[in-house]
Amino acid sequence: MYNRQQRYGKVFKSFVLGRFTVFMTGREASKILLTGKDGIVSLNLFYTGQQVLGPTSLLQTNGDAHKRLRRLIAEPLSIDGLKKYFHFINTQAMQTLDHWQGRKVLVLEEASTFTLKVIGHMIMSLDPTSEEQEKFRSNFKVISSSFSSMPIKLPGTAFHRGIKARDRMYEMLDSIIARRRSGQEFQQDFLESLIMKHSKGGKEDDDENKLTDKQLKDNVLTLLVAGHDTTTAALTWLIKFLEENPHVLEQLRDEHKQIVENRKIGTDLTWSEVNNMPYTTKVISETLRRATILPWYSRKASQDFEVDGYRIKKGWSVNLDVVSIHHDPEVFPDPERFDPSRFDEPLRPFSFLGFGSGPRMCPGMNLAKIEICVFIHHLVTRYKWKPLDRDNSVQPTLVRMPKNKYPVMVEPL
């Protein structure tokens, strides 16, 4: 991308997988593509994702249908909605880290297990140690790995395995939904809120506030996929960047030690404490900038339009190169340096896209921040760590993750 930008400029066109694809970068391009002003672009989810997630997924809808779906699933992901899951998140973080002392740890795999247990509990109250949780985890891993595959639906291919795992996941959801509707089971979780408030039935004039079972399952799976890989990657990169930047780690550890010292009642992390970590919040933002976990956002031109003097034609695929935006030296001097102080002052709109922007900004943003803040609090107040492999290669997947899974040796402070 960098080499082509040097040769062709901020906007260039390529022929990729049988169609014209335009790559662009910069704040103007961000504003046009992410706000979708005047309906000039629509979401352009890749074919594999379309097939695995299903046609009614939040990631496949546009316009009014997207606004409606987002409204229906937003409440459980709000700050108030997440508060009731805080104790579980805190407990899982501590239990995960209990196993780290004095041993070699693959941070990526441990972060993946932690975030999957959290989101499995939030969405359908899965017991972290149950057989159902293990079945859920194994199916989810197959689904997640299928997103980088070619859409060849033949037995033995990653895509075929992903579709089959998706079908097994839906059977599992059907069983849980049936038990809850029959009164055999009741849980105060995300799925229950959708069943109670949005399942099809009742007054016809209430249909705007209800979901069919197909919409319910497609969007539960969408939240699982969107809320797992990205948070796993962010947590892994953050731990890696902290070790590589001792002065940042020291300042972060000071913030968390101060939280512990100021605690007057009890010894456990509290909801108010996790919502008052200013330096940690800057470290998270700098991690998302430096790592750029989602390297581009893809859209499809709904009509002809112009950006930076270039004409884009209706039907073309248009990709916003987020890596270049996050490494623009005019906005972020010395962009390869890890420096949380960049976020001491508000940035200009559309220059930082850690959670996206506009109407498709990440709905799980608050959950991701809480998970990371909780985990990091317990990590830096208990342990120090050293990497066993300094390879900086990135996995060739849609979500950027360290290829070596970041192996470390962990010791108590």
Over the stretch 329-378, which tens digit does the pLDDT of each residue have? 999 999 999 999 999 999 988 999 998 888 778 888 899 999 999 999 99
Residue 241, pLDDT > 70, answer yes
Tell me if 244 is assigned to some domain. Answer: yes
Tell me if 359 is assigned to some domain. Answer: yes
Q: What is the pLDDT of residues 42-100, one digit of tens each?
A: 777 777 777 888 888 887 777 777 787 787 777 777 888 889 899 999 999 999 999 99
Tell me if 164 is assigned to some domain. Answer: yes
Q: What is the pLDDT of residues 90-121, one digit of tens each?
A: 999 999 999 999 899 999 999 999 999 998 88
pLDDT at 205: 45
pLDDT at 1: 82
Tell me if 339 is assigned to some domain. Answer: yes
Could you tell me the CATH number of the domain that includes residue 226?
1.10.630.10
Tell me if 215 is assigned to some domain. Answer: yes
Supply the pTM of this predicted model: 0.90
pLDDT at 29: 86
Tell me if 205 is assigned to some domain. Answer: yes
Average pLDDT value for the chain: 87
pLDDT at 41: 83
Domain count, the chain: 1
pLDDT at 245: 97
Q: Which domain holds residue 233?
A: 36-292+327-412
Q: Which of 198, 204, 196 is nearest to 216 (CA)?
A: 198
Tell me if 220 is assigned to some domain. Answer: yes
Q: What is the pLDDT of residues 198-228, one digit of tens each?
A: 554 444 445 566 778 888 888 888 888 877 8
Tell me if 304 is assigned to some domain. Answer: no
